[in-house]
Amino acid sequence: MPKKHKNKAPASDARAADSAVQKNVSLKDVAAAVKLSPTTVSVVLNYSPLADSIPQETKDRIIEAARNLNYRPNYIARSLRNQRTHTIGVLIPEMSEGYSAAVLSGVEEKLLQEGYFYFVASHHHRPDLIERNTQFLVARCVEGILAIDTPIHQQSFLPIVSISGHDHVKGVTNIVLNHEAAAQLAIAHLHALGHRKVAIIKGQDFSSDTEVRSNTILEAARQSGVEIRDNWITQLIGDDPSPETGYLATRRLLSNETDFTAVLAFNDISAIGAIRALRESGLSVPDDVSVIGFDDITAAEFHNPALTTIRQPLKKMGSLGAEYLLLNIHKNPADTLSVEITVEPDLIVRQSTSAVTK
Amino acid sequence: MPKKHKNKAPASDARAADSAVQKNVSLKDVAAAVKLSPTTVSVVLNYSPLADSIPQETKDRIIEAARNLNYRPNYIARSLRNQRTHTIGVLIPEMSEGYSAAVLSGVEEKLLQEGYFYFVASHHHRPDLIERNTQFLVARCVEGILAIDTPIHQQSFLPIVSISGHDHVKGVTNIVLNHEAAAQLAIAHLHALGHRKVAIIKGQDFSSDTEVRSNTILEAARQSGVEIRDNWITQLIGDDPSPETGYLATRRLLSNETDFTAVLAFNDISAIGAIRALRESGLSVPDDVSVIGFDDITAAEFHNPALTTIRQPLKKMGSLGAEYLLLNIHKNPADTLSVEITVEPDLIVRQSTSAVTK
DNA sequence: GGATTTTACTAAATCGTATTACTAAATCGT
DNA sequence: ACGATTTAGTAATACGATTTAGTAAAATCC
């Protein structure tokens, strides 16, 4: 008898009957239950000002029915309508490292607080994967992108915040360490212990911190009268995120003249590899050679010897990154936001450094 | 003149004019460009069998127009229509640990391969947060849930796969280690080195592996004639994911009689803490006491001494978990899937264990 | 050469929600 | 007591896709 099968009352009745497997209760179902229109129900459940004229009694009826039916608004439908997904995309080199995990924990904490979720995609330092993953994330309608230790070259119509990124792209907010202060802390510590001849392990070229870190260290060394001879400089090779790369770099270092008294590693992971190499060649850490790391990952404190290191506030950098990304997302496109946020390093003195004796 | 403002041709013309900031090109825009209906365009771009009757020339025209306009289908709209989000939810204790990160890297690899993304939510072992996060994920329309080291008590209308979970809930697929084999490997290794008196560090009560692991170890010890006296058993306390808990547990252990010759720790993290405590009290590892860990996290190999450990294939467990979850999602609800997948441990011998001398 | 099938499409419904634009009845102001 | 406002809602449209149902015209069949 109905011209077009628009309502399917019998079907929904049937579904209401079975109790255990309740699923997709829609706004329409709630509306049908209280014999009002979906409009009214929507307006009431969203506390819209449009509901001002609806008497409290009716509101209560609607709210109770929604609760009884266990109504959960469909996020997808709502996203489509509102053009908001409350989701952001996170680009990282890889999931396995202490570094990414620490930053991510800060990101997650902040985002969940604000009702956001995030997609993670890792690219293993491959430019093609960075590009592809970015497109995937955009296709998924993320509202912004957080790039962790990941180079960003192009500007985008989406807000982007980069953590430990060093490209200065218009519109991209950077969260960076105060590298000068970090280098100063490391060199000053070694200098105070009497070290004047220091070797350094540079990061891989693909790591965004590599260049600043070695430049600031060389500069700080020059100013303090600490010598870093050219063949005391070695570099991590390959994208293995384990201490292996630091171990190999240090072996290369040791095959040259070895009259340095300290090694300043690119990060804690490579410092741990360096310690292994030094011990293997019969040198004691810290008695013969001091080693200083970077980051202060969880493993650093309990390594043997416990690692002296320059701490980066990784978790905080994550939450700051998330915070600024959300600000960028919500801000009026007209007004601009601070483009570089600097966080401060700390010197954490443990057992891998000691005074020069010889 | 138009009765209802249905098309807004002038506006879209204006938008087409500016080049840099192209955004939301919709199916309608493509349709308008080729002067065909959205239906036809959709059908062609999706390689639907319905497009069989469309001549190749027209198809080419449509595909080219889509490319030129840089058309990207709106994922949200498509999700709403198809009732598919290609997104799963992952529950983890916390983001910071080597354990979660390793499993997640396996999860991610598998999911991205299959065109899925995932939301992560961590609960810090708090039951209320497990509950809340699960609801958030369901509200976000995830197609399934992957619970990593997270207790699951209720069954759900969503597919669930649990990694290292030990509740046997109907409909939940478990990915578990062969704990008997693991215990056997550990005890046999110690036994072969001459150890007959062994201390163990149990995990926290909230860790899902705690109970099986200690039970299987006690059983394996009994069978091999290895003694584990009651006051050689200690337990991790508190939810700090650092080696600190293992350190403190070992200190408690050392305050009793200490005539054991080996310590079998709950995991690598706590083994590292144990080594610290042993050394502090003047005992050498492995000369006085052997230490064996569990998991083989990245830090294990480069610790000093390098950690002998029972490896869990964490990354593989992650990718297996993802794989079975996807199978559960795509399978016919009628037929059932294997409910328990077992993975095998490996003994990794390094420097933290050695033969008994005394 | 008329009926049937194939070709090449399009209109309309749908997914579940939010919003804009209405309407009918009750109340208010004067 | 009559027009203006408030109250209590509803119908229609939009978000951007996919799919079902349909329709003209051309090609094929008998």
3-state SS assignment for residue B73: coil
Give me the pLDDT at residue A12, please: 35
User: A112-116, A188-192, B257-261: lowest mean pLDDT where?
Assistant: B257-261
Could you tell me the two tokens for A257?
A: 């003249």
Report how far residue B316's alpha carbon sits from residue B332's, in angstroms, rounded to the nearest whole number. 25
pLDDT digits over A324-335, tens only? 999 999 987 777
Give me the pLDDT at residue A23, please: 65
Calculate what percentage of chain A has a pLDDT beyond 90. 82
Q: How far is CA A273 from CA A152, A243, A295, B102, in A?
A: 29, 4, 15, 20
Could you tell me the two tokens for A185?
A: 């802390």
How many C-beta atoms lie closer than 10 Å to residue B313's C-beta?
Answer: 18
Give me the pLDDT at residue A231, please: 92
- Cβ-based contacts (< 7 Å) between A 50-79 and strand D: 50, 52-55, 58, 77
Q: Answer for B255: CB within 7 Å of strand D.
A: no
Could you tell me the two tokens for B257?
A: 């009689």
* Residue B63 near residue B51, CB atoms below 8 Å: no
Phi, psi of A187 (to 5 degrees): -65, -40
Extended beta strands in chain B, E state = 87-92, 117-122, 145-148, 160-163, 172-177, 198-202, 233-235, 262-264, 290-295, 308-311, 340-343, 346-348
Report how far residue A353's alpha carbon sits from residue A263's, in angstroms, rounded to the nearest whole number. 9
Give me the pLDDT at residue B5, please: 37
* Residue B99 near residue B268, CB atoms below 8 Å: no
Higher pLDDT, A274 or A208: A274
Closest-CA residue to B355 (of B149, B196, B127, B209): B196
Closest-CA residue to B182 (of B355, B298, B356, B317): B317
**What residues of A are in contact with residue B122 (Cβ under 8 Å)?**
105, 108
Q: What is the mean pLDDT of residues A341-358?
A: 95
**Binning pLDDT at 50, 70 and 90, where does residue A53 land?**
very high
Q: Is B221 exposed, middle or buried (0-12, 13-18, 19+ CB in 10 A)?
A: buried
Could you tell me the two tokens for A17?
A: 């009957």
Report how far residue A190's alpha carbon sits from residue A263's, in angstroms, rounded to the nearest whole number. 10
Q: What is the mean pLDDT of residues A271-296?
A: 96
Mean pLDDT of chain A: 91
Q: List Cβ<8 Å contacts ≥24 apart for A34-38.
A: A34/A61, A34/A62, A34/A65, A36/A62
Report how far residue A181's alpha carbon sits from residue A172's, in angstroms, rounded to the nearest whole number. 23
Give me the pLDDT at residue A96, please: 76
Residues of chain B with pLDDT under 70: 1-23, 358
Residues with Cβ < 8 Å from A35, sequence gap 6 or more?
A: none
Q: Answer for B155: CB within 7 Å of strand C.
A: no
Report how far residue B233's alpha carbon sits from residue B326's, in angstroms, rounded to the nearest whole number. 41
> What's the CA A193/C1' C7 distance, rounded, in angstroms?
87
Q: What is the mean pLDDT of residues A184-205?
A: 97
Give me the pLDDT at residue B96, please: 76
Sheet containing A308-311, strands listed edge to edge, beginning at the edge strand earlier in sequence: A233-235, A198-202, A262-264, A290-295, A308-311, A346-348
| Contact between B141 and A75 using a beta-carbon 8 Å cutoff | yes
Q: Establish whether the linkage from the previous residue to B345 is cis, with ω within 30° of 0.
A: no
Give me the pLDDT at residue A170, please: 87
**Is the pLDDT at A357 greater than 70, yes or no?**
yes
Q: What is the mean pLDDT of residues A305-309?
A: 97
Substitution target in A143, A298, A307 with the highest count of B β-carbons within 10 Å is A298
β-bridge pairing B198-202 and B233-235? parallel
* Residue B263 near residue B199, CB atoms below 8 Å: yes
Whether residue A291 lies within 8 A of chain B, CB to CB, comes out as no
Residue in A closest to B299 by C-alpha:
A299
Number of residues that make up chain B: 358
Q: What is the mean pLDDT of residues A216-228?
A: 97
Whether residue B303 lies within 8 A of chain A, CB to CB, comes out as yes
β-bridge pairing B290-295 and A290-295? unpaired
